[in-house]
């Protein structure tokens, strides 16, 4: 017994040493990967603070002095404020519809387990499995027939179709809510409508926040639908303004990069403030699913 004790201690120390080396190597790898991913953002931000001549001479070096005229020129030459208003209106309205309709559709399907709700579930699942790229042409024809081309309500309608995604996300959470809470609410005199909004829906906050984050990021950054269905200058979104600037300011990279930074700022700020809810929502989903 006395002879085996030093061997066991040495083995434990050797294992800890190997684990420490592995953790250090992994940390160095992650740091190197972060540097690689952050380098394009460094180039973009640094070159917005330089004159065009400085950018042409050395795009990697730090600016000799802060040159903020690029941002002022971006607001003067681009329709950024109107585009921001359009992007905000489309995103806010679409996400609100996605959350409300997705939750209301998921509630009866999750609570009423019968062949009819199963058929509804299969119907939504089949629709969710169809790639959106295959429906572009018929979607355009339908929008044209409804006179919704080049209109903000038309864009809101298109994006709101993604409530199917929230429908599936909400189901597992609604099933995890004890039915006894709803029964108690009915005894206290709540209607079905009141029970859902005052008892069930507040308990769905983790997944609701997660859905809001993902849908906001997608709609705000979407280019395909905005490019296909919005044509007027006063109806463009911020992403379309970047596309427009690529052709208009192709030889002025400092101005072009300044436009990109301005467009990225709102969604980056939104993500920074909401990122903790992503982990909370997904973790809650893993525990309840």
pLDDT of residue 281: 56
Considering only CA atoms, which of 168, 171, 203 is closest in space to residue 185?
203
Please tell me the distance from the alpha carbon of residue 263 to that of residue 2, in angstroms, as a whole number. 69
Over residues 81-100, the pLDDT tens digits come to 888 999 999 999 999 999 99
Homologous superfamily of 71-288 in CATH? Answer: MetI-like (1.10.3720.10)
**Is pLDDT of 286 > 50?**
no
Q: Please state, in angstroms and rounded to a whole number, the distance separating the CA atoms of residues 99 and 270.
A: 18
pLDDT for position 118: 83
Q: Give 46-63 pLDDT, tens digit per residue.
A: 888 888 778 778 778 788
Domain boundaries of the chain, sorted by first residue: 4-57, 71-288
Confidence of residue 153 (pLDDT cuts 50, 70, 90): very high
Is residue 20 over pLDDT 60?
yes
Q: What is the pLDDT of residue 287?
A: 46
State both tokens at 238.
């911020």
Encode pLDDT of 238-264 as tens digits. Answer: 888 888 776 666 667 777 888 888 888
Residue 149 dihedral angles phi and psi, to the nearest 5°: -70, 140
Confidence band of 101 (pLDDT split at 50, 70, 90): very high
pLDDT > 70: what percent of the chain?
A: 87
- In this predicted model, which residue has the larger pLDDT, 14 or 119? 119
| Alpha carbon distance, N-terminus to C-terminus of the chain | 49
For residue 268 the two structure tokens come to 């980056």
Burial class (CB in 10 A: 0-12, 13-18, 19+), 86: buried
- Our CA dihedral for 212, 217, 219, 221, rounded to 10 degrees, sits at 170
Please state the pTM of the whole predicted model.
Answer: 0.79
Q: What token pair was written down for 28? A: 């160095």
Using pLDDT thresholds of 50, 70 and 90, give the confidence band for residue 1.
very low
Which of 175, 161, 162 lies closest to 109 in space, CA to CA? 175
pLDDT digits (tens, 9 = 90+) for 223-237: 889 998 988 888 889
Residue 165 burial class via C-beta count within 10 angstroms: exposed 0-12, middle 13-18, buried 19 and up: middle
Sign of CA dihedral 38, 256, 252, 54: negative
pLDDT digits (tens, 9 = 90+) for 157-172: 999 988 888 998 898 7
**N residues, the chain:** 289
What's the pLDDT at 46?
A: 86
**Per-residue pLDDT, 289:** 44
- Do the beta carbons of residue 267 and residue 217 sit within 8 Å? yes
Q: Give the H or E element holding residue 29.
A: helix 4-48
**What is the Cα–Cα distance from 168 to 170, expressed in whole angstroms?**
6
CA 167, CA 215: separation in Å to the nearest integer? 13
């Amino acid at each position: 017994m006395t002879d085996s004790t030093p061997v066991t201690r040495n083995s434990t120390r050797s294992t800890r040493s190997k684990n420490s080396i592995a953790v250090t190597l992994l940390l160095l790898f992650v740091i190197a990967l972060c540097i690689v991913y952050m380098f394009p953002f460094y180039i973009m931000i640094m070159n917005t603070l330089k004159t065009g001549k400085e950018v042409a001479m050395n795009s990697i070096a730090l600016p000799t002095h802060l040159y903020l005229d690029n941002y002022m020129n971006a607001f003067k030459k681009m329709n950024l404020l109107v585009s921001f208003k359009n992007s905000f209106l489309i995103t806010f309205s679409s996400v609100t519809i996605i959350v409300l309709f997705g939750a209301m559709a998921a509630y009866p399907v999750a609570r009423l387990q019968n062949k009819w709700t199963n058929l509804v579930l299969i119907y939504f699942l089949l629709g969710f499995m169809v790639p959106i790229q295959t429906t572009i042409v018929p979607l355009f024809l339908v929008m044209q027939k409804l006179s919704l081309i080049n209109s903000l309500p038309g864009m809101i309608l298109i994006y709101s179709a993604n409530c199917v995604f929230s429908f599936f996300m909400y189901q597992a959470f609604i099933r995890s809510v004890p039915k006894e809470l709803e029964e108690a609410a009915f005894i206290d005199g709540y209607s079905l409508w009141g029970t859902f909004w005052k008892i069930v829906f507040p308990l769905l906050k983790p997944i609701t926040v997660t859905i809001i984050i993902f849908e906001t990021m997608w709609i705000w950054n979407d280019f395909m639908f905005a490019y296909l269905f919005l044509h007027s200058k006063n109806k463009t979104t911020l992403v379309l303004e970047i596309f427009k600037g690529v052709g208009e300011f192709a030889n002025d990279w400092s101005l072009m990069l300044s436009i990109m930074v301005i467009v990225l700022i709102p969604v980056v700020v939104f993500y920074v403030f909401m990122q903790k809810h992503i982990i909370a929502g997904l973790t809650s989903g893993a525990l309840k699913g």
